[in-house]
């Protein structure tokens, strides 16, 4: 009975055995090492994306212009297949087979949600509050920092969370070009038709994504000004 039939009959058996095997938790190809690689690739991609998308989206939202451009970039960016971009970058000599290919492809993937949400969050911050602030004599910069940004936190945070979870889930692609991370289990499992290995990798990625989502939700709540929190009358996210 090969591994495939075994999975159909007893799905947890071989996978449970894989998780229980201490050899899979040690060394350079064990779960902790792969997890660190995975998160490090994701982190660098996200930092790059946020460094580009957050300031740009916030500033455009503050001046309230180029809305169509931002939406278009957002839509086009989402349409770019990350896998194809990854292979193109890996086959291109200046980047080549390296973590950089995955980081760049994932950064492109991460930009649209953050850009769109920071633009919308700042632009659509309560207009009454913005007017009052200007009426009180605040400068543009003060309006941005003291009114627009705090009010935009729920929407901007939603963009950041979406982007982060998507990147962590998609960082599995790095394994397709010789990279590390949790995708290694999935790709190697597929190459060797080792279903237990593949499923274990998939389960690990799912657990990590859910965990990150929960952590970010807690961070978002902490950063949201109290009147805007979900448990307040005004909060809606």
Partner 1 sequence: MHASTLRQRAVAAAALGLALTLAACGGSSTSSDSSAADASAPASAASTAAEASPEPAAGGPITIGAFGFGESKILANLYAGALTAAGFEPSIIELTNREVVEPALESGEVQVVPEYLGTLTEFLNVKANGPDAAPLASGDVEATLAQLQTLANAVGITVLTPSPAADQNAFAVTREFAEANGLATLSDLAGYSQSNPVRLGGPPECPTRPFCQPGLEETYGMQFSEFTSLDAGGPLTKQALAQGAIDVGLVFSSDGGVAANDLVVLTDDLTLQTADNIIAAVTTSALTPALQTALDAVSAALTTEDLVQMNKMVDIDRADAATVAQEWLTSKGLVS
Output the smallest distance, CB 193 to partner 1, in A.
Answer: 4
Can residue 97 be called a binding residue for partner 1 (CB under 8 A)? yes
CA distance 78 to 23: 39
Can residue 96 be called a binding residue for partner 1 (CB under 8 A)? yes
CB 29 within 8 A of CB 18: no
Can residue 192 be called a binding residue for partner 1 (CB under 8 A)? yes
CA distance 170 to 143: 37
Can residue 232 be called a binding residue for partner 1 (CB under 8 A)? no
Can residue 91 be called a binding residue for partner 1 (CB under 8 A)? yes
**Interface mask toward partner 1 for 4-33; x: CB under 8 A:** x-----------------------x-----
Q: Which of 6, 77, 178, 235 binds partner 1 (CB under 8 A)?
A: 178
Angle CA(155)–CA(159)–CA(164) in degrees, nearest 5? 145
Can residue 177 be called a binding residue for partner 1 (CB under 8 A)? yes
Q: Which is nearer to partner 1, 56 or 90 (CB)?
A: 90
- Residue with the two structure tokens 């300031």: 55
Q: What is the DSSP string of 158-224?
A: HHHHHHHHHHHHHGGGGGGGT--STHHHHHHHHHTT-HHHHHHHHHHHHHHHHHHHHHHHHHHHHHS
Q: Which of 11, 191, 225, 227 binds partner 1 (CB under 8 A)?
A: 191
CB 18 within 8 A of CB 196: yes
Can residue 100 be called a binding residue for partner 1 (CB under 8 A)? no
Q: Which is nearer to partner 1, 87 or 138 (CB)?
A: 87
Can residue 193 be called a binding residue for partner 1 (CB under 8 A)? yes
CA distance 237 to 228: 9
**Choices 65-73, 84-92, 117-125, 165-173 (CB under 8 A): range interacting with partner 1:** 84-92
Q: How far is CA 61 from CA 53, 64, 120, in A?
A: 12, 5, 6
Q: Which of 173, 187, 204, 212 binds partner 1 (CB under 8 A)?
A: 187
Neighbouring CB atoms inside 10 A of 228's CB total 18
Instruction: Note the residues at the interface with partner 1 (CB under 8 A).
Output: 2, 4, 28, 87, 90-91, 93, 96-98, 175, 177-178, 184, 187-188, 190-193, 195, 198
């Amino acid at each position: 009975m090969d591994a495939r039939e075994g999975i159909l009959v007893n799905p947890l058996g071989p996978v449970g055995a894989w998780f229980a095997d201490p050899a899979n938790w040690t060394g350079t190809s064990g779960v902790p090492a792969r997890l660190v690689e995975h998160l490090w690739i994701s982190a660098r991609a996200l930092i790059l994306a946020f460094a580009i998308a957050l300031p740009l989206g916030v500033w455009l939202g503050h001046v309230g212009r180029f809305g169509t451009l931002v939406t278009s970039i957002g839509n086009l960016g989402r349409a770019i297949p990350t896998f194809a971009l990854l292979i193109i970058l890996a086959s291109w000599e200046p980047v080549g087979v390296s973590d950089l290919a995955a980081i760049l492809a994932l950064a492109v993937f991460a930009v649209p949600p953050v850009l769109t949400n920071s633009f919308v969050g700042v632009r659509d911050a309560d207009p009454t509050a913005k007017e009052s602030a200007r009426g009180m004599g605040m400068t543009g910069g003060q309006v941005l920092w003291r009114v627009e940004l705090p009010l935009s936190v729920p929407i901007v945070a939603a963009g950041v969370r979406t982007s982060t979870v998507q990147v962590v889930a998609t960082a599995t692609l790095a394994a397709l070009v010789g990279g590390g991370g949790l995708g290694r289990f999935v790709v190697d499992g597929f190459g060797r038709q080792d279903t237990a290995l593949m499923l274990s990798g998939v389960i690990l990625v799912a657990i990590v994504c859910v965990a990150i989502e929960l952590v970010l939700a807690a961070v978002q709540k902490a950063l949201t000004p109290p009147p805007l929190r979900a448990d307040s009358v005004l909060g809606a996210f």
